[in-house]
Structure 1
Amino acid sequence: MAGPTAESVRAALTEAADEAERAKIVRRTTDDRTTVIGVRMGTVFAIAQAHAAMGLGEVDRLLVSDAYEERMVAVSVLDFQARRPRITGDERRALYELWMRRLDRIDTWDYIDRSAPRVVGLYLLDRPRDVLFDLARSADRWHRRAAVVAAYSIIRSGDLDDPLALCELLAADPERFVQTAVGTALREIGYVDRARLEEFLDRRGADLIAEALRTARTALR
């Protein structure tokens, strides 16, 4: 019996399509090249869950699609696979390498937030994080957001030095989508070490936009 495929994902998404939902999703897309099928996010995630055992070659076929929901299924499958309790080091590396190879197709905040913490962050827990600093210095706003969002899992492991250094680099970033990720990272840092968050905000809080600063301060309540 054949395993789950990109074509079976496409068929499931097409069957679940709804024109009213498509209109809502179109309003929040950030790239004119993106096409929208029109499927509720809960249904998209359910389809991804049903295809969680998909081979990475099939996931790759979805990642190169212009359809918003197809790429959302792809990053969700990567995330589901990265969560597996018995995942091997080689399997985790393969997920990471596919994600990085298709980074330019992971070009909305929700693709990044859905997958970067576990696919990228967990892979880098016990490895050098130079790639995150390279992304943080990119001219591409999504690469910069990915650098910070990937660090969420690193923060939750109790390792704060590199995440704080990333926040230092991006505290004055002009892009809202980057700033909001920095605010979330700082909040998570504060949950682990309140004093280090307070010290950071004393020095750099004025550089954050109000939305990011409010999020960061959540950890101080």
Structure 2
Amino acid sequence: MSVDEQLVKAIRAGLAGLADPVKAPAMRAYMKSAMPFRGVASPERSAFLKGILAGHILPDRVTYSATVLKLWRAAEFREERYAAIALSGHRAYRQWQDRELVPLYEEMIVDGAWWDYVDELAIRRIGPILRADRAGVTPIMLSWAGDADLWRRRTAIICQIGAKEDTDTDLLTRTIEPAIAEPEFFLRKGIGWALREYAKTSPDWVRSFVDDHPGLSGLSRREALKHIG
């Protein structure tokens, strides 16, 4: 793979330079993370990454994908994985956000297996790719909705958050329905979140959906109707 090792090393060194070992244990505990933290707070991390990513543009798609994966796979601290996600979505590489990147994001979703990674990837990476290529990506999301992996399923449910009028309600329905009877918190919460956000655009549709699906958990129902009664 054509990894830009210079960028990888610069990101790791910069995060190490911002490390706060006093904050790190609390951040790790809050996120229930097996991987340690450097202790770099989100504003400082974002400012650092904004500068370094803007000043070091990768030359081609292969180098971009390989460098994202190197940062992700070789990460020793959680902030390095946050950096991989930030690199993946940098505006300089917007033209490469298409169906070919879905396997890369799928690896990060399944391997990351926690909400802080998955929600960003689902909503800000998979979602836009889906809206740009419904014919190609809708079948993938339908497959993920029935997958054994919790995080693929959550991604399928929440990937349309923020789509507003562009929401495919048939897809939303078909990704939610297989999870309705599941006891898993992250699925129930994801269902409620997806419906609550779409209710800002179409409250009547959400009310009807909730009425038509009496098997929804109390959590999903409360979240869905939170702002519309």
Of 185, 203, 208, 1:199 maps to: 208
SS of 1:38 mapped into structure 2: coil
- Where does structure 2 lack aligned partners over 5 or more consecutive residues? 59-63
Q: Which residue of 2 aligns with 1:37?
A: 38
Establish whether residue 214 from structure 1 lines up as the match of residue 222 from structure 2.
yes
Aligned-residue RMSD, C-alpha: 2.6
Of 167, 192, 196, 1:183 maps to: 192
Q: Which residue of 2 aligns with 1:74?
A: 84
Identity of aligned residues (%): 24
Q: Distance in 2 between matches of 1:47 and 1:209?
A: 42
| Deviation, structure 1 residue 70 | 0.8
Q: Distance in 2 between matches of 1:153 and 1:59?
A: 25
In 2, are the aligned partners of 1:48 and 1:74 still within 8 Å (CA)?
Answer: no
Residue range with higher mean Cα deviation, 105-114 or 50-59:
50-59
In 1, are the aligned partners of 2:40 and 2:79 still within 8 Å (CA)?
Answer: yes
State how many pairs are aligned: 214
So what's the TM-score if we normalise by structure 2?
A: 0.80
Q: Which amino acid is 2:186 matched to?
A: F
In 2, are the aligned partners of 1:30 and 1:108 still within 8 Å (CA)?
Answer: no
Q: Structure 1 runs of 4+ off > 4 angstroms?
A: 153-156
In 2, are the aligned partners of 1:63 and 1:105 still within 8 Å (CA)?
Answer: no
SS of 1:135 mapped into structure 2: helix
Q: Which residue of 2 aligns with 1:142?
A: 151
In 2, are the aligned partners of 1:167 and 1:186 still within 8 Å (CA)?
Answer: no
| Deviation, structure 1 residue 188 | 2.0
Q: Which residue of 2 aligns with 1:160?
A: 169
- Where does structure 1 lack aligned partners over 5 or more consecutive residues? none
Q: Which amino acid is 1:106 matched to?
A: G
